[in-house]
A and B are shown apart, each in its own frame.
Chain A
Amino acid sequence: MARRISRTARTATRQTPAARLRRITFGVAGLAAFVALWKCAFVFTWAPSGTLPDPFSIPAALAAEYTNGHLLPALGSSLIHYVWGLAVGTVAGFIVGLLAATSPAFDDVHHLLARILRPIPPLAWVVFAIAWFQVSHAGAAFVISIGVFWVNYFATAAGVAGVDPRFYELARAFGHGGFVARVTTVTLPGAAPGILSGMRTGVGQAWMTLIAAELLGVPGMGQQMNSAAGVGAYDAVVVYMLAISLIYSLSDGAFALVQNRVLRWRP
């Protein structure tokens, strides 16, 4: 999926200047139409009274959240959960996925267990996260890492299983038949598109789980949203929603750069 997105993005940059201008204009128009619709909904109170903020009050709400000292600490706290959860889930998912695809014995031992654990939504683990880690950074990171783990596990296992077996024969013919040489010269580069695509999905998935995990009380943007909603400050809720959107775009964009760099051999 990530691959298709990056393809689309690349095609867009190859367009003629006129086509690009048209695309930007239409994009801005679509955004303006949405804001106008939102404004109408606010003015004509299509939603229950007081639950829909004025779109034009959002910049002021942003400034208020910043000056009252809520935004940056919440953001920092969320980033701690995010980075740890993402790192642990990615590394663990990669290692277990690689083992599952390269070691038949490991695959035999774990496949039933994986089948049982896999359908459990990450948020179902919140109960144990609280029991084991209390309401803490570690608990939130734990919940996030579970979702990220499965994404990377499947992407890595599928990527490794999908490596063209003819390249292993090549490796044997040219002195790279040993396990380490085979893995480093064929398995990992061959599986890299799938592995990186899984990692990138995980970068997004982590945000989804993060906010939900924090809604349960761990300090962070999710908790801020919850407490803002509790006092009817829906404009502040929107501020956090937009902050999440921005950070996701930044992290996804940064990862896309890495991905395109590593996979620059692809046509």
Chain B
Amino acid sequence: MSGHDLLTIQGLHFAYPDTDTPVFADIDLSIADGEFVALVGGSGVGKSTLLRNVAGLIAPSGGQLSIAPDTSDGSRDRAFVFQDTRLLPWRRIDANIDYGLTGLGLSRRQRRDRIDEVLDLTDMSAYRRRWPHAISGGQAQRIGLARALAVHPRLLLMDEPFSAVDALTRSRLQDELLAIWRRIGMAVLFVTHDIEEAVYLADRVIVMRGAPAEIVRRETIPCTRPRDRTATDFRALARNIADSL
């Protein structure tokens, strides 16, 4: 891929304390600036665990994981979008988006601008004063995305973000994510068990398998966007990747 490597992972392995078998081992992976990478694998294979290692939420047991140093102010290297949206129910929508903005050296005015910006990007401006219980699942997922985008991350980490919404909402959210990605150009590491979703969204699909899990396949998706899920080459590629799971 073009661009410099933003994330570099070498020989990464992770084991829970007091267990013999690591969740994954010998993971080598790099992600370029602005690249959209999907990570697929069966359930329980360790995709989310790898994503949490990348996020810095849990510490790897060994190997190297580095992110190119950041030069811009008012941002975080990485931001996380959770499968369960994880909006704080006691904060209104705008305050939920504001959650990641403390400690970034932003003025009150700048924070407000960030909130406006991401509400606009996700088309959720009308809901800014709502409580989380008063919006739908798809809208909550948009806010989860907006909260992550607000910190201007260079790497957006998404953990099966669309798996809990209905099919129609899911395909709409996928297109909205692509539109935002094209506009902002952050790198994305997107975990999913849905191969069709991975092939539809990503520049590259990484397949994890085994116990301990390893990367068994790296596939660059040649199809041009917008992609047609019903096209023959799309279907063939998706089926081919599914066979390697």
List the interface of chain A (C-beta within 8 A of B).
Answer: 166-167, 169-170, 172-176, 181, 185-186, 189-190, 192, 264-267
Contact = CB atoms under 8 A, between A and B. Distances in A.
A167 B86 contact: yes
Given A185-B99, A266-B133, A267-B133, A170 B82 contact: yes
Contacts of B80: 173-174
Contacts of B102: 175-176, 181
Give the interface SS of chain A, mostly helix, strand, loop or mixed.
helix
A169 B57 contact: yes
Contacts of A181: 102
Nearest to A263: B90
B86 A170 contact: yes
Contacts of B131: 264-265, 267
Given A173-B80, A174-B151, A266-B133, A189 B88 contact: yes
A190 B88 CA distance: 9
Interface string B74-118: 001001101010101111100000011011100000000000000
A208 B151 CA distance: 52
5 smallest A-B Cβ distances: which pairs?
A174-B100, A267-B133, A189-B90, A173-B80, A265-B90
A174 B91 CA distance: 15
Interface residues of B, number: 24
A100 to B, nearest CB: 23
Contacts of A264: 131
A174 B99 contact: yes
Interface in B210-225: none
Contacts of B124: none
Nearest to A186: B88
B57 A172 contact: yes
Interface string B111-149: 000000000000000000001111000000000000100
Nearest to B89: A265
A154 to B, nearest CB: 22
B88 A167 contact: yes
Of B86, B90, B132, most buried by chain A (CB within 10 Å of CB) is B90
Contacts of A167: 86, 88
Contacts of B89: 265-266
A176 B57 CA distance: 12
A181 to B, nearest CB: 8
Contacts of B100: 173-175
Contacts of B91: 189, 265
B99 A176 contact: yes
Nearest to B80: A173
A194 B88 CA distance: 17
Nearest to B100: A174
A197 B2 CA distance: 58
Contacts of A189: 88, 90-91
A174 B84 contact: no
B207 to A, nearest CB: 26
A171 to B, nearest CB: 8
A88 to B, nearest CB: 28
B9 interface: no
